[in-house]
Amino acid sequence: MLASASAAAGVAALLPGRLKPKPRADLLKRLATAAALWLRHVRDRRPFQYVVGNEHWRDLVVAVREGVLIPRPETEAVVDMVGKVEGFEAGCWADLGTGSGAIAVAVARMLGSEGRVFATDVSEVAIEVARLNVQRYGMQDKVEIRHGSWFEPLEDLKGKLMGVISNPPYIPTEDLPGLQPEVGWHEPKLALDGGKDGLEHLLHLCEGLSSVLKPGGFFVFETNGNKQSEFLVDFIRTKWDSSFRDVEAVLDFADIKHPCHLEEETNILIKETEIKWDMIVIS
Amino acid 1 reads M
**Full-model pTM:** 0.79
The alpha-carbon radius of gyration of the chain (Å, integer) is: 24
Of 261, 265, 187, 186, nearest in space to 230 by CA: 261
Question: Please, what are the averages of pLDDT over each run of 10 residues along the chain (283 residues)?
Answer: 44 46 76 76 83 95 97 90 92 98 98 97 98 98 98 96 94 95 95 95 90 87 78 81 66 43 32 38 46
Maximum pairwise Cα distance, the chain: 93
Q: Right CATH number for 48-281 from 3.40.50.1220, 3.40.50.150, 3.40.190.10, 3.30.310.50?
A: 3.40.50.150
Buried b (16+ CB within 10 A) or exposed e, 166-194: bbbbbbbbeeeeeeeebebebbbebbbbb
Position 35 scores a pLDDT of: 76
Alpha-carbon distance of 94 to 105, in angstroms, equals 12
Position 13 scores a pLDDT of: 44
